[in-house]
Structure 1
Amino acid sequence: MPKYSLKQLIIYFLKLGTWGFGGPVALVGYMHRDLVDEKKWISEEDYKEGLALSQLAPGPLAAQLSIYIGYIHYKILGATLVGIAFVIPSFLMVLCIGYAYVSYGGLPWMQAIFYGVGAAVIGIIAISTYKLTSKSIGKDKLMWLIFIVLAVTTFITEQEILWLILLGGFVMWFVKAPPKWLSSGAQGILPTLLVQLQPLTAEHKLTQIAWFFTKAGAFVFGSGLAIVPFLYGGVVKEYQWLNEQQFVDAVAVAMITPGPVVITVGFIGYLTAGFWGAVVAALATFIPCYLFTVIPAPYFKKYGKHPGIKAFVDGVSAAAIGAIAGAVLVLGKRTLIDIPTSLIAEASAAALFQLKRLQEPFVILGAALIGILLKILIQ
């Protein structure tokens, strides 16, 4: 019997969706800290299986992990309600921001806030990645090697390479639990060639939004951050729904609001076609990742304890965490643009490391105020 009720889990994810700043790296770290380490609702093995499945399947990492955690003890109902609870707070927030953005002709104050918040976010996700790495990888030298390879390649290429993540799993499998035979029943991956399909020939903008964001949810691998280049190519270059500045503002909205970063699709949808544009964009993005989580979940639960599969999951987990660490470095390179932002990031990380009970929202609020003050002083 689980140590928690479904209601308790839903309330937790409502809170995480409301207060969980820092993007996918921080969010998966919070889930581990809260549900595995502190509350002990979820076992380390179940968490690793969920992280591995979330990394292997296309779609936003944090949202998929939340769905899997809901599935562990409460199956489809748990996965569905937890997924909704996690996403809905940030969706409502981006709707409000989208309304203000359209009504008042932009958000000139947002860049000032993001100047400080973006730097603090780097500090937050750096600490989260450190804790996740030390807890999940331990002293296993092979897992550390896989971690380092993925961190370096992710930093150099600035993208998460799926085949390397899979290779990490196969390396652990063949070294730790060599198979006696090769199974022909391995899960296939949907061919990415489908991404190249032409948009549906429909005049209605909502249909175009549904088609484009379904592709975004179904064919973009990695964390919520990985979806940003795909979105840029579609909404700015192909469809020209947003201009360059609007798209930058959309990414800023995603970074300064709690919950999954990929919720920026709601803001983009709102700017493109109002309230229903936001609803369609969000549903089209999240439904594929929901299906890619709950459909294979029973097989992960049933066969996850097999030595070969366990070794494969360990390897994928090490690779996934390495890719996350590399993403932290990429984000840091882009966000920490001067001495003040570097100091804010370092101070945020140090505060969270030293003050165990300090909550991230207070760090975010302090950084936002510092960002505004600095911008006023600079101008």
Structure 2
Amino acid sequence: MTDLVKNAAARSSSAERDVVPLGEAIKVWTRVAALSFGGPAGQIAVMHRIVVDEKKWVGEHRFLHALNYCMLLPGPEAHQLAIYIGWLLNRTLGGMIAGSLFVLPGFLAILALSYVYVMFGNLTFIDGMFFGLKCAVLAVVIQAVFRIGSRALKNRTMIALAATAFVAIFFLHVPFPLIVVGAGLIGYLASRGGVAAFKAGGGHKSGPGAILEDKDSILGEEIPFHARPNLAWSLKTSGALAAAWLIPVAALLITLGPDNVFSKIGIFFSEMAIVTFGGAYAVLAYVAQEAVQQLGWLRPGEMLDGLGMAETTPGPLIMVTQFVGFLAGYRNPGTLSPLTAATFAAVLTTWVTFLPSFFWIFAGAPFIEKMRGNIALTGAMSAITAAVVGVILNLAIWFGLHVLFHETTSLTYGSWTMDTPVLTSLSLPSLILTLLAATAIFRLRMSVITTLLASAAFGVGWTIFAS
């Protein structure tokens, strides 16, 4: 009986103990957030360098295991990885703090830039800066097509999926969520049927080397008490997060009606948070298709301006959605002042975009061991990633039309429609700067941040000279 009491006390102590001091963790997550430039690849690299290599809080094997899980989820994987590791080290509070700090610097930076954009956007300096950023962003998106394509399109089947997705979204205007669901279903069924093209190796290390690496970390191989599967905790925590996510949206619908811009923002970005697999560039394709072409919240060039903001500020690239919401509120203020409506819209957009990431992690993280090695799930994700390449190619062409040409027109053949440029409206300065930015990225291997800043400076100089 005495041993049972001691064991129970030990388990209770383990349940209440953080792996690392919370104060130290907050300092580290603040540092990670401040250095999180360069999109998800750069953010994950920063996190790995600090948390795995420098602090040795978690091992390589556990870090990559968590990353694999986050890559299965909709939404920004770097943000979800921060939540996951924060939770692993400091329980629920640690995950909430890590995820919130990861978003906060980018939110504040883009909010400030959004104010500048709507209040001083007609100044020559501001016009020139965003002119340069648009051209650089086009080069960055083209790079994303090649980078993701080289990783995802390993065989003819995957190339065919990417091509089909491109045709579906570019010519037939099939909604992005349907493309994701269709590709995932194809991959899932094909994997279960044993189709070799959909098989993929795991992304994490395994074997003795990985185990030794984890032994060298503070957490070691131990599974913390709070990280063991606990259905009651998962239901309670994820239920509270779901309520915090959906109740405000429902309240807006009830009080303001479905046609109000704030209701539309809540619904649109909540839907986006559920269906946007494949990273930020896939999200941009979805947002561009809906927010620009269907909802009319902003113009194509403004979408590029927002992406330029997100590329040059810390935090997830998906923060561009905050700028979209800001402009939607600014131009549809109702009884509020434009800036007040815009600020509320930016907060609402950020809330419904990022809160689901906490939901996914807290609902599923304790059970991820059951997902490891799931062949059918791996096949579904491989197919979705391949389809996303086609979606991003659509985004690159769409951006290119609106960056390089002042006018476009639509051609229709039966159910097929496509935007085509008016060749006489070609912008020579935009073409030259885009080619320079592409050369910097592809040939000179310059970083995205350096290319964006140089392009912005070039854009300012050109605009001042031309005026």
Question: Is the TM-score greater than 0.5?
Answer: yes
- Secondary structure of the residue aligned to 1:308 is helix
Q: 1:234 to 1:144 in 2, by over 3 A?
A: closer
TM-score (normalised: structure 2) = 0.58
In structure 2, C-alpha distance between the alignment counterparts of 1:89 and 1:270, rounded to whole Å: 22
- Secondary structure of the residue aligned to 2:193 is coil
In structure 2, C-alpha distance between the alignment counterparts of 1:44 and 1:177, rounded to whole Å: 25
Give the corresponding residue for 1:293: 357
In structure 2, C-alpha distance between the alignment counterparts of 1:31 and 1:321, rounded to whole Å: 21
Match of 1:15 among 10, 35, 38: 35
Q: Name stretches of at least 5 consecutive residues in structure 2 with no aligned partner.
A: 1-18, 54-59, 195-248, 277-282, 311-316, 406-426
The 5-angstrom pairing of residues 46-195 of structure 1 reads: 47=67, 49-54=69-74, 61=75, 64-75=76-87, 77=93, 80-100=96-116, 106-107=122-123, 109-135=125-151, 137=152, 139-157=154-172, 160-178=175-193
Q: 1:9 to 1:143 in 2, by over 3 A?
A: farther
Give the conservation status (yes or no) of the 8 Å contact 1:172–1:315. Answer: yes
In structure 2, C-alpha distance between the alignment counterparts of 1:6 and 1:147, rounded to whole Å: 41
Q: Name stretches of at least 5 consecutive residues in structure 1 with no aligned partner.
A: 21-26, 55-60, 180-194, 238-243
Match of 1:355 among 444, 457, 461: 444
- Secondary structure of the residue aligned to 1:366 is helix
What is the one-letter code of the residue matched to 1:317? T
**2:432 counterpart of 1:343:** yes
- Secondary structure of the residue aligned to 1:355 is coil
1:309-339 Cα distance to aligned partner (Å, 9 max, x none): 1211222222223322321222122212233
Give the conservation status (yes or no) of the 8 Å contact 2:40–2:77. Answer: yes
In structure 2, C-alpha distance between the alignment counterparts of 1:151 and 1:343, rounded to whole Å: 27
TM-aligned CA deviation for residue 348 of structure 1: 1.6
Give the corresponding residue for 1:321: 389
In structure 2, C-alpha distance between the alignment counterparts of 1:344 and 1:225, rounded to whole Å: 23
Q: Equivalent pairs: percent with the same residue? A: 16
1:259-305 Cα distance to aligned partner (Å, 9 max, x none): 42112123554674466534432332233333433334444734432
1:328-359 Cα distance to aligned partner (Å, 9 max, x none): 22212221223332232232222223334x33
Give the corresponding residue for 1:371: 459
Q: RMSD of aligned C-alpha atoms?
A: 4.1
TM-aligned CA deviation for residue 84 of structure 1: 3.2
What is the one-letter code of the residue matched to 2:266? T
Give the corresponding residue for 1:190: none
Give the conservation status (yes or no) of the 8 Å contact 1:216–1:227. Answer: no
Match of 1:262 among 321, 330, 339: 321
What is the one-letter code of the residue matched to 1:344? L
1:66-104 Cα distance to aligned partner (Å, 9 max, x none): 332223333355654454334333432343344445655
In structure 1, C-alpha distance between the alignment counterparts of 2:174 and 2:46, rounded to whole Å: 28
In structure 2, C-alpha distance between the alignment counterparts of 1:112 and 1:143, rounded to whole Å: 40
Q: 1:360 to 1:373 in 2, by over 3 A?
A: same
TM-aligned CA deviation for residue 123 of structure 1: 0.8
In structure 1, C-alpha distance between the alignment counterparts of 2:145 and 2:27, rounded to whole Å: 29
Higher relative contact order, structure no. (Cα contacts within 8 Å, ≥ 6 residues apart): 1
- Secondary structure of the residue aligned to 1:295 is helix
In structure 1, C-alpha distance between the alignment counterparts of 2:461 and 2:78, rounded to whole Å: 36
Deviates more, 1:80-89 or 1:101-110: 101-110
Higher alpha-carbon Rg: 2
- Secondary structure of the residue aligned to 2:154 is coil
Number of aligned residue pairs: give it: 333
Q: 1:78 to 1:311 in 2, by over 3 A?
A: farther
Give the conservation status (yes or no) of the 8 Å contact 2:35–2:46. Answer: no
What is the one-letter code of the residue matched to 2:269? G
Q: 1:308 to 1:202 in 2, by over 3 A?
A: closer
Give the conservation status (yes or no) of the 8 Å contact 1:154–1:327. Answer: no
Give the corresponding residue for 1:304: 371
Q: 1:91 to 1:293 in 2, by over 3 A?
A: closer
TM-aligned CA deviation for residue 131 of structure 1: 1.8
What is the one-letter code of the residue matched to 2:179? L
Q: 1:288 to 1:101 in 2, by over 3 A?
A: closer
Give the corresponding residue for 2:264: 212
Deviates more, 1:117-126 or 1:152-161: 152-161
Q: 1:92 to 1:294 in 2, by over 3 A?
A: closer
- Secondary structure of the residue aligned to 1:257 is helix
Give the corresponding residue for 1:23: none
Q: 1:148 to 1:339 in 2, by over 3 A?
A: same
Q: 1:102 to 1:115 in 2, by over 3 A?
A: closer
Give the conservation status (yes or no) of the 8 Å contact 1:129–1:321. Answer: yes
TM-score (normalised: structure 1) = 0.70
Give the corresponding residue for 2:203: none
Give the corresponding residue for 1:281: 345
TM-aligned CA deviation for residue 118 of structure 1: 0.4
In structure 1, C-alpha distance between the alignment counterparts of 2:97 and 2:128, rounded to whole Å: 36
